[in-house]
Amino acid sequence: MNRFWSATIVSELGTHVTTLAMPLFVLTVLHGSATDVGLLNAARWLPYLLFGLLAGALVDRWRRVPVLVTSDIGRAVLLTVVALFVRDFTLLLAIMLVVGLLSLGHDVATQSFLPRLVPTDRLPTANARLAQTGSAAAATGPLAGGTLVTVLGAPLSIVLDGFSYLVSGLLTATVRVDEPPAPAKRGTIREGLAWVYRHPMLKPLALNTHAWMVFSSAAGAVYVPFATLDLHLSPFELGVTLAFAGAGGVLGGAVSGWAARRFGLGRSAVTARFLPLVAFAIIALSHDWTGAAAGQFLFWLGIGIESPSTIAYRQSVTPDRLQGRMNATIRSFNWGVVAIGAPVGGWLADHTGHRTTFWVAVAGFALTAVTFACSRFRLVSAPPAVGAVGAGQPADVERVQCVAAAAEPAADPVLPQRERVDDVER
């Protein structure tokens, strides 16, 4: 676990440098617009929509360490090529499609790999540890990225991300874990779809998150152009606002387990869904870096609270033979809709203004938060206990267990204000 965690730290740090550097590369080096940034995000995530389900079925048949290593090395090479040689936007989009395809394989393998590294009862802790790692990288990466872009320029900053993927791949290759052979009977994509969208708790979680991602991707595609063009922030100041996002994620991850235990997993996740609408309302009203930083902090505070618990729940109720397809089903649609939301957000910003796009996102966040609060997922108290789920258990047995848990009397549905203050995969 420690080597895998180290690989994650290095990769996440580099990724958050590029999160800032790549949009600035489009805006400053290629002289693009908000629509172009949206199209860049769409290209990055389109493979999730097109090939996500297939990736899940393939990952369930393959050993996961080789998938993780190959995808890291491939991304290292491609990002280096982009930074040093690509100056055509169409070619950039084509390469980012391949980067997105490699990231798809890596993401599905990562979430399907973790249950093989740690026992079921430690999954919430392990997911929280990884989430806090990502949040810490999100806090330091943008600051480093802003400094690097200022000193070295966007292209060389992207080269450093490529190097981080190389290091991550080499570290992952040293991880030793017993991976079972591929099942003799090959599972189908349909089986993964049925597991997610017929499950009494995974279904509302997945559908609501799909809708949430549309509005998140629209707002996210517009943030860097807004900060650069409307607020006139320098790369370093932009990095400072994104560092507050990382700090919010760290705090959210730190209290995630406590919130799930104290108030119930479902209720803590529901409460966290209300924070993004407050966050982007603040950003839409901001006129300097402080408002933008406060909004980023609140947005990622909500994600930090929700993600570790909901991911652990997904992993806990799903047998090993379906892990790849379950994760791919949810993530392919979660991130696949970015291919729709990001360019629409960029187009809307270019035609109506950045702030208008944020208010549209706020309305969307409000709608998804209210519908999630009314869903059955609010009844979930905690992931199943050790032994409740196993690779050898029939799916019908697991479904009955989950339905029985959902049938237990729910606590008072009023969400405590304290939980909202103390406050995920998406």
User: Around Cβ 147, how many Cβ atoms within 10 Å?
Assistant: 15
Q: Is the pLDDT of residue 113 over 80?
A: no
- Rounded to an integer, what distance in angstroms lies between the CA atom of residue 293 and that of residue 142? 12
Please give the Cα distance from 16 to 418 (Å, whole number): 31
- Name the token pair of 316: 């806990």
Q: Is the pLDDT of residue 390 over 50?
A: no
Residue 121 identity:
D
In angstroms, the CA 367 to CA 365 distance is 5
The CA-CA-CA angle for residues 51, 223, 45, to 5°, reads: 5
Token code pair at residue 129: 């540890």
Q: What is the pLDDT of residues 115-125, one digit of tens each?
A: 777 776 677 67
Task: Write down the pLDDT at residue 425.
Answer: 40
Task: Report d(CA 271, CA 268) in Å as an integer.
Answer: 5
pLDDT (0 to 100) of residue 19: 79
**Residue among 42, 238, 230 at smallest CA distance from 154:** 238
The segment with the largest mean pLDDT, out of 77-81, 252-256, 265-269, 320-324, is: 77-81
Question: Is the Cβ–Cβ distance between 12 and 165 less than 8 Å?
Answer: no
Contact 213, 335 (CB under 8 A): yes
Q: If you average pLDDT over each of 170-174, 200-204, 319-323, 360-364, which comes out highest?
A: 360-364
Phi, psi of 233 (to 5 degrees): -85, 145
Domains with residue ranges and CATH for the chain: 2-175+187-422 (1.20.1250.20)
User: Phi/psi of residue 144, each to 5°?
Assistant: -65, -40
CA distance linking residue 28 with residue 22, whole number of Å: 10
Q: What residues contact 405, with CB distance under 8 A and at least 6 apart?
A: 380, 381, 384
Structure confidence at residue 290 (pLDDT): 95
- pLDDT for res 142: 75
The number of beta carbons lying within 10 Å of the beta carbon of residue 348 is 21
User: What pLDDT band is residue 332 in, cutting at 50, 70 and 90?
Assistant: confident
353, two tokens = 């203004």
Question: What is this structure's pTM?
Answer: 0.70
Nearest to 252 by CA among 420, 51, 61: 420
What is the number of other CB atoms lying within 10 angstroms of the CB of residue 116? 15
Give me 317's structure tokens.
């109720």
Backbone phi and psi for residue 384, each to the nearest 5 degrees, phi listed first: -60, 155
Give the whole-angstrom CA distance, residue 314 versus residue 293: 31
